Amino acid sequence: MSLPSSVLFCCDHNSVRSPMAEGLLKKHIGNRVYVQSAGVASDRDIDGFSISVCNELGVELTKHTVRSFQELEEWGEDLEGYDLIIALSHTSKIVASGHVADAAVEVEFWDIADPTATGETRAAKLDAYRAVRDDIVARIQARFPV
């Protein structure tokens, strides 16, 4: 399978799953593919647990700027210019598909759990986020073999 030239990951808020996926794919593939992420909304900061569990694998997320589809477009990104959009939530799949309905952009859906409401303790929350991170890593390795 050939690599796309550009990939956009998306989820609900661009604060947990999609920035993790963006950083993890960049680590996996380097600069051979243009990779970004966005959310349906951008009403939260980057999640501290996402930062922690990605840091364990050498992926730096502290400088990530949370952004919505609308903000990406305002900054000059053309969503129809991506080869592949990978939606990590049902809502983002619907919204992304609407943005590129008239374009030849593949929208793929990965059903990635939202870990934000999981776990009562810090350790339990970290385990939930690690499970999500590891799910994303496995899907990246399967979808983008190097």
In angstroms, rounded to a whole number, what is the distance separating the alpha carbons of residues 105 and 130? 30
| β partners of residue 37 | 9
Q: Which domains does the chain have, with CATH numbers?
A: 6-143 (3.40.50.2300)
Q: What is the pLDDT of residue 42?
A: 87
Q: What is the pLDDT of residues 50-93, one digit of tens each?
A: 999 999 999 999 999 999 999 998 988 888 889 999 999 999 99
> What's the half-sphere exposure (Cβ side, CA atoms, 13 Å) at 60?
2
pLDDT digit string, tens, across residues 89-105: 999 999 999 989 888 89
Predicted local distance difference test score (pLDDT) of residue 85: 96
Cα angle 3-6-11, degrees, rounded to a multiple of 5: 110
Amino acid (one-letter) located at 54: C
Give dist(CA 5, CA 138) in Å, integer. Answer: 20
Region 106-123: mean pLDDT is: 94
